[in-house]
Amino acid sequence: MKTSLVLTLIGRDRPGLVSAVAARASALGANWLESRLAQLAGQFAGVVRLEVEERDAAQLEVSLRELEAEGLQVIIERGAGARAQAARRITRLELVGHDRPGIVRDISAVLARHGVSIEEFETACESAPMSSESLFRATAVLDVPVAVSLDALRADLEALANELMVDLNLNDDSAAC
């Protein structure tokens, strides 16, 4: 029987970090299923999901924790088994506007009020093409329960977008799952 291990990794960025994790996973027959890895302010940060035979999971955890001696913080959680899910729909949110503190707080509060789960979330600050002002850009993949009115969610998000003076799009590209 296989189990999933979810790793959170952070440490000073340097060549070979991903290779070190992958080598330890491979040595115990683990399969690298998905990951999000980034360099942020000189730090390597990542989330990785590995699948490994249950009998090898503890040994893999010990092996991965040995990377802490090299300055890589490693947090390991066992993945939960498959859970029954209510009907849902996956929706994409895109936002761009002048950067200011609180945008993520305000958007995520609206999503939470509607019972929406964030599946993926990427943000970045970049220079505006003409003015070089700082623009905040975000994209999110949202799990919106079918019972939630997409029109009501869109109305609340658009009201907030007007207040924040940002452009926001909510696209329901998928049918209920």
pLDDT values of the chain reduced to their tens digit, one per residue, 177 residues: 999 999 999 999 999 999 999 999 999 999 999 999 999 999 999 999 999 999 999 999 999 999 999 999 999 999 876 555 566 799 999 999 999 999 999 999 999 999 999 999 999 998 888 777 899 999 999 999 999 999 999 999 999 999 999 999 999 865 444
DSSP run (H or E) holding 150 = helix 150-164
Structure token digits, residue 147 = 């019972």
* Count of CB atoms situated within 10 Å of the CB of 109: 12
What three-state secondary structure class fits 41?
coil
What domains sit in the chain, N to C, each tagged with a CATH number? 2-78 (3.30.70.260), 88-171 (3.30.70.260)
Residue 159 φ/ψ, nearest 5 degrees: -60, -45
Which residues, other chains included, contact 14 with Cβ-Cβ below 8 Å and sequence gap of 6+?
44
